């Protein structure tokens, strides 16, 4: 029996339904391997007179917090705003039953900041972007901020 012909396509602008087919296939596979769990969004915002001047967003999933983005306006940097946002984010994740947290940052961003909060590097992509590095960090959430 001859197998059906295989077509391999490079697509620079994939259709949403094609991307959804990938997601659906991966979710089905993962669900057969581990207990199903849906990522739950989580965000913290620091506002001054109604204007967002700092915040973080991510999600909790399988007892882990993933911090996708943290931003602090220049006017609030080095005044504890980032620490306050991260403390609040981690406390909210603990209340959801999270055991650990992970995030990534570039060498030109906040590596030292996260390390001072107790995060440890577990991986690195060198020369990404060129001339810099991307660092991946994690922290057990039973460890409070120093």
Residue 2 pLDDT greater than 80, yes or no: no
**4-39: pLDDT as tens digits:** 889 999 999 999 999 999 999 988 898 889 887 789
Residue 132 pLDDT greater than 80, yes or no: yes
Q: Mean pLDDT across the stretch 38-61?
A: 96
Q: Does domain 41-140 have CATH number 3.40.630.30?
A: yes
**62-110: pLDDT as tens digits:** 999 999 999 999 999 999 999 999 999 999 999 999 999 999 999 999 9
pLDDT at 145: 52
**Tokens describing residue 85:** 């946002």
- Whether the Cβ atoms of residue 84 and residue 94 lie closer than 8 Å to each other: no
């Amino acid at each position: 029996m001859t197998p059906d012909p295989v077509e391999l396509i490079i697509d620079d602008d994939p259709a949403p339904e094609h991307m959804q087919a990938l997601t659906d296939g991966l979710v089905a596979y993962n669900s057969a391997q581990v207990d199903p769990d849906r990522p739950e969004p989580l965000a913290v915002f620091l506002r001054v007179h109604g204007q967002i001047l700092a915040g973080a967003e991510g999600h909790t999933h399988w007892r882990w917090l993933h911090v996708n983005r943290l931003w602090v306006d220049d006017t609030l940097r080095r005044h504890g705003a980032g620490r306050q946002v991260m403390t609040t984010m981690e406390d909210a994740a603990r209340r959801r039953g999270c055991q650990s947290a992970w995030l990534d940052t570039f060498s030109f961003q906040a590596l030292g900041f996260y390390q001072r909060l107790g995060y440890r590097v577990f991986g690195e992509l060198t020369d990404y972007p060129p001339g810099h590095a991307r660092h991946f960090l994690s922290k057990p959430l039973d460890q409070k901020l120093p």
